[in-house]
């Protein structure tokens, strides 16, 4: 086995373990897949190849600007800064360095094909679905969860225990919340399709195994993200295609059924409607692990009004834990802003979130310039996960960043010096 083979296997293992966002993690901010990425980087360092394949995209400057704006805001509000500010800054920087710069180099050094990425994504989806389905049965028959059987890095008090349809326990899978597991399906489903698309029998079989796991997450964010991502991709492609027609027909049927059937209406309200009420502030829920987001967003508005330049990375968590509040800011009700974009907004200010949005938009537009099926799949996944992060903070999860790296792998910048056979994503691996 060559060094490149080892690289490739470690990278596939990284993808296969993506459902383990909390289960078997070393720490909350170091889930199992990220640990595999660390091992991959150490292996490259020990074999003298770590810097051989590292390259930077012009867009990386935008992320550096976002990071620096958040650090500057900490300096401005240094009287209230503390340990959490340092922790968040280090992990934001570490996320960018490890899950973007290194993973991008990892893809390059391994010369992995998209079929091989898709094969690993298929295994990951099967693992994720099996975990969700098993836990759904376990939780609704015995009241126990997977976290009662195997170790989770997330503290027990932060593990969501949510119900749906009045009495059914929602399974978390191998993550801390059902919505996080749904993101795994959103991110890896399109990548798995790349591998499965030429084998219709296998595609049907895997879909039959994976679809129940996604649906049992009862994730309003997941369903909405996929729907919106589909619409956006169709608009960008100026056509709906065969799958678009099928999707529109399915959506039309669901709308009709929900409109005329009271039971279907009730199910819709329980799964999606109540989440919309919560975001609008018209629901009856209070802040907890799965709801009450509208109150958090009111805090975002208060911070934005008084501190448009931001208050610094981790300052919300610092105030939450210490009780020392920056003047004019209400007492935090959570450790974070339960949204990646709002966390960037309150940390790095308006300029920071606009710069971050520009970074993502440039990646999406650049990828959209390709018209091959592989690019369409990665584009769909990247847009879906980007949308879902509007209601998910956890920036240390590898899903969004790996999709960005895969997009870079497909659209290697001409601004960097690369070998003649790069990009090799659509070629056969050695």
Residue 170, C-beta contacts closer than 8 angstroms, at least 6 positions apart: 136, 160, 162, 163, 164, 178, 216, 217, 218
Q: How many domains does the chain have?
A: 1
Chain segment 183-198, per-residue pLDDT in tens = 999 999 999 999 999 9
107: tokens are 């893809």
The answer to the question of residue 169 being in a domain is: yes
Residue 74, C-beta contacts closer than 8 angstroms, at least 6 positions apart: 81, 85, 89, 312, 313, 314, 315
Chain segment 158-181, per-residue pLDDT in tens = 887 888 877 889 999 999 999 999
Instruction: Give me the pLDDT at residue 279, please.
Output: 53
Between CA 342 and CA 380 the distance in angstroms is: 23
State whether residue 169 is helix, strand or coil.
Answer: strand
The answer to the question of residue 420 being in a domain is: no
Q: What is the pTM of this model?
A: 0.87
Q: Which domain holds residue 242?
A: 3-410
- Interior/surface letters 333-352, b for 16+ CB within 10 angstroms, e for the rest: ebbbbbbbbbbbbbbbbeeb
Of the candidates 139, 391, 382, 385, the residue with the CA atom closest to the CA atom of residue 272 = 391
Chain segment 224-250, per-residue pLDDT in tens = 899 899 989 988 877 656 665 666 666
Of the candidates 148, 134, 131, the residue with the CA atom closest to the CA atom of residue 21 = 131
Chain segment 70-91, per-residue pLDDT in tens = 999 999 999 899 999 999 999 9
Residue 126, C-beta contacts closer than 8 angstroms, at least 6 positions apart: 206, 209, 210
The answer to the question of residue 427 being in a domain is: no
The answer to the question of residue 429 being in a domain is: no
The answer to the question of residue 423 being in a domain is: no
Between CA 167 and CA 165 the distance in angstroms is: 6
The answer to the question of residue 426 being in a domain is: no
The answer to the question of residue 430 being in a domain is: no
Main-chain dihedrals φ then ψ at residue 196, nearest 5 degrees: -90, -15
The answer to the question of residue 303 being in a domain is: yes
HEC sequence for 51-75: CCCCCCCCCHHHHHHHHHHHHHHHH
């Amino acid at each position: 086995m060559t060094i490149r083979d080892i690289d490739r296997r470690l990278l596939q293992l990284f993808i296969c373990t993506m459902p383990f966002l909390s289960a078997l993690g070393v720490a909350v901010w170091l889930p199992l897949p990220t640990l595999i990425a660390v091992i991959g980087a150490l292996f490259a360092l020990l074999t003298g190849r770590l810097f051989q394949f590292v390259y930077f995209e012009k867009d990386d400057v935008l992320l550096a600007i976002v990071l620096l704006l958040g650090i500057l805001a900490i300096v401005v509000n240094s009287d209230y800064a503390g340990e959490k500010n340092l922790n968040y800054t280090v992990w934001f920087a570490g996320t960018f360095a490890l899950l973007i710069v290194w993973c991008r180099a990892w893809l390059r050094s391994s010369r992995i094909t998209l079929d091989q990425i898709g094969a690993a994504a298929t295994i990951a989806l099967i693992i994720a679905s099996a975990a969700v389905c098993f836990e759904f049965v376990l939780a609704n028959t015995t009241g126990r969860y997977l976290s009662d059987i195997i170790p989770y890095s997330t503290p027990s008090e932060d593990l969501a225990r949510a119900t749906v349809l009045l009495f059914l326990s929602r399974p978390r899978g191998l993550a801390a919340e059902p919505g996080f597991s749904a993101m795994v399906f959103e991110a890896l489903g399109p990548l798995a399709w790349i591998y499965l698309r030429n084998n219709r029998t296998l595609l049907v079989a895997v879909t039959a195994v994976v679809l129940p796991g996604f649906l049992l997450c009862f994730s309003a964010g997941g369903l909405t993200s996929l729907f919106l991502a589909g619409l956006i991709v169709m608009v960008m492609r100026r056509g709906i295609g065969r799958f678009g027609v099928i999707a529109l027909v399915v959506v039309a049927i669901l709308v009709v059924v929900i409109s005329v059937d009271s039971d279907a209406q009730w199910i819709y309200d329980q799964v999606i409607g109540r989440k919309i009420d919560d975001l609008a502030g018209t629901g009856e829920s209070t802040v907890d692990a799965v709801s009450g987001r509208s109150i958090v967003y009111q805090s975002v508005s208060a911070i934005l009004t008084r501190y448009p330049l931001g208050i610094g990375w981790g300052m919300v968590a610092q105030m939450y834990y210490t009780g020392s509040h920056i003047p004019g800011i209400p007492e935090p009700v959570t450790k974070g802003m339960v949204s990646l974009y709002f966390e960037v907004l309150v940390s790095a200010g308006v300029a920071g979130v606009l710069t971050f949005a520009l970074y993502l938009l440039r990646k999406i537009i650049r990828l959209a310039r390709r018209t091959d099926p592989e690019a369409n799949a990665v584009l769909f996944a990247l847009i879906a996960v980007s949308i879902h992060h509007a209601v998910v903070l956890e920036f240390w999860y590898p899903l969004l960043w790996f999709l960005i790296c895969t997009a870079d792998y497909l659209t290697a910048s001409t601004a960097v010096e690369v070998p003649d056979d790069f990009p090799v994503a659509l070629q056969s691996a050695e």
